[in-house]
Structure 1
Amino acid sequence: MTDTVFPLEPSAAEAQAAIIEEFGFFSDWTERYQYLIDLGRKLPEFPDAWKTEEHRLHGCQSMVWIVPEGDAQRLVFHAVSDSAIVSGLIFLALRVYSGRSAREILDTTPDYIAAIGLAKHLSPTRSNGLAALLEVIKARAAQA
């Protein structure tokens, strides 16, 4: 694991634009899946103590844990999965949403998913898991 700190870009919109640009470099989905796997390896350390039922994301076939921190001014999300591709999906979601204000999170539609073709190339269970992850992020922002 690395010490990646989110946000990487100043705004959620800029993060989405960067993701779309990066995925545009790849000509096929084999390369894009490999890139997702590589991104997943860049997730920050996630303490084993956080891998509890309380933090488990339900609705995903893989094991996923998510821990939100912060307040309406700045929400930070920590998450990890036991699946390499799902870890990459988590990385992308955190890149767009983690470290942002609750208002920016709520105002940001995850357009990058359709723009890079994820919607068409994920299995139904991975799509459901990604939707569940985004739902938790949006719900936490709404609570703040």
Structure 2
Amino acid sequence: MTDDAPALPDQLAEIREDFLALTESERLQLLLEFSRELPPLPARYADSPALLEKVEECQSPVHAFAEVDGDVVHFYATAPEEAPTTRGFASILAQGLSGLTTREVLDVPEDFPLQLGLTRAVSALRLNGMAGMLTRAKRQVVEQLAAA
């Protein structure tokens, strides 16, 4: 990160620091904990799953949507319980992006998934899936801001 790059928002910085404070095997355990904490979808999305966008980069069926309410972003995602790594990444983003301002979300570095210290513990395809979720969230925020 350069000196003029925006700082990582507090909630994402805290998640990153929690991962980096652990050994690789402990990081996988933390990722599994996140997988069990994926927030449920609000009824408007649970009742109409077509409102969520499929994340093509994910090997597992993952759907996600970043919703802008005023200047605040809420990120929602679904991932199957039998795909705990992917579900954990979805949960990290749901917990880490929700409540941020649109600017904070747009300023999250593209390499945030790599900053968690999991590059040797999980496959590059799985990390690519998390990057795909983040890229979609940012694009959806930009689209909603342009439409407003």
Q: What SS does the corresponding residue of 1:34 show, helix, strand or coil?
A: helix
Alpha-carbon spacing, 1:117–1:98, altered in 2? closer, same or farther (3 Å)? same
AA aligned to 1:70 is V
Q: Does 1:30 align with 2:25?
A: yes
Percent identity of paired positions between Structure 1 and Structure 2: 27
Once residues 32 and 129 of structure 1 are traced to their aligned partners in structure 2, the CA distance between those partners, rounded to angstroms, is 18
Once residues 95 and 125 of structure 1 are traced to their aligned partners in structure 2, the CA distance between those partners, rounded to angstroms, is 22
Once residues 122 and 61 of structure 1 are traced to their aligned partners in structure 2, the CA distance between those partners, rounded to angstroms, is 13
Report the equivalent of 1:68: 66
Once residues 56 and 117 of structure 2 are traced to their aligned partners in structure 1, the CA distance between those partners, rounded to angstroms, is 24
Q: What is the TM-score with the length of structure 1 in the denominator?
A: 0.76
Task: Give the superposed CA RMSD.
Answer: 2.4
Question: How big is the shift at 1:68?
Answer: 2.8
Work out the number of aligned pairs and report it. Answer: 133
* Residue-by-residue CA offset, 1:75-123 (whole Å, 9 max, x unaligned): 2111021111111111222233222222111122156433331344331
Report the equivalent of 1:131: 131
AA aligned to 1:23 is F
Once residues 99 and 22 of structure 2 are traced to their aligned partners in structure 1, the CA distance between those partners, rounded to angstroms, is 28
Alpha-carbon spacing, 1:55–1:111, altered in 2? closer, same or farther (3 Å)? closer
Which 4+ residue blocks in structure 1 deviate beyond 4 angstroms? Answer: none
Q: What is the TM-score with the length of structure 2 in the denominator?
A: 0.75
Q: Which moved more, 1:116-125 or 1:82-91?
A: 116-125
